[in-house]
Structure 1
Amino acid sequence: MSGQRPPASNGITPLQQMAASCSGAILTSLFVTPLDVVKIRLQAQKNPFPKGKCFVYCNGLMDHICVCENGNSRAWYKAPGHFSGTLDAFIKIVRNEGVKSLWSGLPPTLVMAVPATVIYFTCYDQLCAALRVRMGERAQVAPLLAGAIARVGSATVISPLELIRTKMQSRKQTYRELTDCIRSAVQAEGRLSLWRGLGPTLLRDVPFSAMYWYNYERGKSFLCELYNTREPTFTMTFISGAVSGSIAAIVTLPFDVVKTRRQVELGELQAKNLSHQVSTSTLSVMSRIVAQDGFSGLLRGFLPRLIKVAPACAIMISTYEFGKAFFRKYNEERILRPLQTSNS
């Protein structure tokens, strides 16, 4: 057995953890990107009217701003392209831009998913195992702390890619337009502008991860006790991931809205020469959203985020646990094979 690298304390090596997490990240990205596009479109849109439409006298002068619903000279007008809900956004995006637009930002999503998932899941497992040993009787809190710390590292590393993906999904644009937008923003505000939205991203993702991993581990343990089994099944991890992800997504939604709004505004403020006049802090953006759309604006994109996060968490964690179980079994067989040969 000389020359073989021994598996980690949890039965698999960090490299095997990375392989297990990558497979789940690719599957999850392909599945949830359309839901992410719809969520970002809903969060990025701005109402020119308080309730989405207003009553005006039709004289032909406002046709470039709003669309007449009735066709009469006295009618309700509504802003063009305004999405009234999740299903309406799906239909209008497909009708106006084609089915492919639902996978806008998929390349940066895939590029982002691999390093983010490798850093996040591998760091979580390593940190959680170390914290459980050190914390002793308080080991139940280890998933909460490990999830929060791992998320800080992964979110900071992939924040520029997150910004590029959000810009691509917020509206249909070419790679050249996106490059010009980002280049002008970097020239005006420096390279730190690539981390625009990192603050609300951390405010969203760190508590999300803390709640998610804590609830996931507790839910998984509960189901194992309920069905009297030591190892959780694929169904148990799937259900635990979906429930814990849904709870965390609902609590952190307002910060997701703020993150989207700040990243979408990249380049728009420079074009209007307002970059030094308009504050982009989290509280300022929250105040602007509430002033424009009311408190309900902070919950915009609730349904597509929930529809996205629940299956995404379920697919990711169940695939990851399945991969770890596969490698754990492989390592056990590799260790036992020489012993069985020598005994025979």
Structure 2
Amino acid sequence: MTTQTIEEFEYEALPDNASLSASLLAGAFAGIAEHAIMYPVDSIKTRMQILQPTPQAVYTGVLNAFSKISTTEGAKTLWRGVNSVILGAGPAHALYFGTYEYAKHAFGGNESGHHPIAAAAAGACATIASDALMNPFDVIKQRMQVHGSVYTNVMDCFLKVNKAEGFRAFYISYPTTLTMTIPFQSIQFATYEYLRKVLNPSGAYDPMTHITAGGIAGAVAAAATTPLDVAKTLLQTRGEATDVRIRNCNGLVDAFKLIYQRQGLAGFGKGLGPRVLSHMPSTAICWGVYEYGKWFLSRDSSDQQPINLP
């Protein structure tokens, strides 16, 4: 039996009559889903990247870390700081996807054929905007993820870090974050757009295509940018260290030098496994939710819905 589509409509771009708030809503839901669902694995990744871990927080792998944390600190510990992500991810991802759609259209990425440069450039624009909003929430998240964290909640962490280190502490890693996320998002978006068109040339809404392309794109981008993520973690958690050199680490170059001196080249691969393990499903979830949101909004805004006949 063959399937014939009587009426097709374009869902890749939201309809002209869709409100701005409706257009950004898909991105907000996607961001919250992406970060919240895989949060425990992200917590393990942060623990494994700490340059000066406590003796109780030395792990040999993802399963060892999960078992050790759950046994000695309780499984609930793996969710410490998730409220910070939920608070920041919604508005940050709304801005992220809104910027991406606008920039991709402006750069010609919606034209027929493959446009990896347009997709990559749009991804870079999106991450510059969203990271400016998300960076303080990410700092709070990682401060609450480290072993022995004494913060009781998100606000407590914000107030104590701000008092002890100043507001600059929430943006000390921003240049490093951009150095990492611009190539990460450029690789991710270019890979995703390429795979989406290869796997589904018709451009029709297909959940499995978006999930598969998103997962592969996230894994490739995460693996390629892990060394930068290690440096970012060092800068964002430096205030929790007792080592004076770590506490005074200032910027990407200084972080790279310190990591190499202490752990050699192997130090730049710390957390690679859990980083890929968390990003692969999280980006698959993110793209799946986002593309569904676009399809749903386009469907409701269209007078004609597609009808599939056997």
- Deviation string 1:16-45 (CA, Å, 9 cap, x unpaired) is 222212222232223110000000000015
Question: Deviation at 1:137?
Answer: 9.4
Residues 1:222 and 2:198 are matched in the alignment: yes
TM-score (structure 2 length as normaliser): 0.85
Paired residue for 1:114?
Answer: 90
Cα distance in 2 for residues equivalent to 1:165 and 1:110: 10
Distance 1:265-1:245 versus aligned 2 partners, 3 A rule: same
Paired residue for 2:145?
Answer: 169
**3-state DSSP class of the match of 1:175?**
coil
Moved over 4 A (4+): 133-140, 176-185, 274-277
Residues 1:44 and 2:14 are matched in the alignment: no
Distance 1:131-1:151 versus aligned 2 partners, 3 A rule: same
Paired residue for 1:53?
Answer: none
**Is the 8 Å Cα contact of residues 16 and 324 (structure 1) preserved in structure 2?**
no
- Deviation string 1:266-324 (CA, Å, 9 cap, x unpaired) is 2546xx7x489934221111111111112111110011000000000000001100111
Distance 1:138-1:220 versus aligned 2 partners, 3 A rule: closer
**1:325 aligned to which of 265, 287, 295:** 295
**1:288 aligned to which of 231, 237, 258:** 258
Distance 1:188-1:80 versus aligned 2 partners, 3 A rule: closer
Unaligned runs of 5+ in 2: 1-10, 306-310
**Is the 8 Å Cα contact of residues 241 and 313 (structure 1) preserved in structure 2?**
yes
Cα distance in 1 for residues equivalent to 2:112 and 2:12: 20
Q: Which amino acid aligns with 1:10?
A: L
Question: Deviation at 1:140?
Answer: 4.3
**3-state DSSP class of the match of 2:250?**
coil
**Is the 8 Å Cα contact of residues 163 and 196 (structure 1) preserved in structure 2?**
no
Cα distance in 2 for residues equivalent to 1:91 and 1:261: 24
Paired residue for 2:217?
Answer: 244
Residues 1:97 and 2:73 are matched in the alignment: yes
Cα distance in 1 for residues equivalent to 2:57 and 2:112: 56
Question: Deviation at 1:170?
Answer: 1.4
**3-state DSSP class of the match of 1:266?**
helix
How many pairs were matched up? 293
**1:254 aligned to which of 224, 227, 234:** 227
Paired residue for 2:283?
Answer: 313
**Is the 8 Å Cα contact of residues 45 and 271 (structure 2) preserved in structure 1?**
yes
Comparing 176-185 with 241-250, which one deviates more in the overlay? 176-185
**1:88 aligned to which of 58, 61, 64:** 64
**Is the 8 Å Cα contact of residues 30 and 290 (structure 2) preserved in structure 1?**
yes
Question: Deviation at 1:138?
Answer: 9.1
Identify the structure with bigger relative contact order (alpha carbons < 8 Å, sequence gap 6+).
2
**3-state DSSP class of the match of 1:83?**
coil
Sequence identity, in percent? 25
- Deviation string 1:123-168 (CA, Å, 9 cap, x unpaired) is 1011111221899999542111110011011101221111000100
**2:268 aligned to which of 298, 317, 326:** 298
**1:234 aligned to which of 207, 215, 223:** 207
Aligned-pair Cα RMSD in Å: 2.9
Residues 1:24 and 2:30 are matched in the alignment: yes
Map 1:2-21 onto structure 2 (within 5 A). Answer: 10-11=14-15, 12-21=18-27
**Is the 8 Å Cα contact of residues 152 and 202 (structure 1) preserved in structure 2?**
yes
Question: Deviation at 1:195?
Answer: 0.6
Cα distance in 2 for residues equivalent to 1:323 and 1:156: 24
Cα distance in 2 for residues equivalent to 1:28 and 1:189: 30
Question: Deviation at 1:97?
Answer: 0.8
Cα distance in 2 for residues equivalent to 1:279 and 1:174: 22
Q: Which amino acid aligns with 1:297?
A: G
Residues 1:147 and 2:100 are matched in the alignment: no
**2:106 aligned to which of 127, 130, 133:** 130
TM-score (structure 1 length as normaliser): 0.77
Cα distance in 2 for residues equivalent to 1:196 and 1:294: 24
Distance 1:264-1:124 versus aligned 2 partners, 3 A rule: same
**Is the 8 Å Cα contact of residues 167 and 178 (structure 1) preserved in structure 2?**
no
- Deviation string 1:237-261 (CA, Å, 9 cap, x unpaired) is 1111011111111111001001111
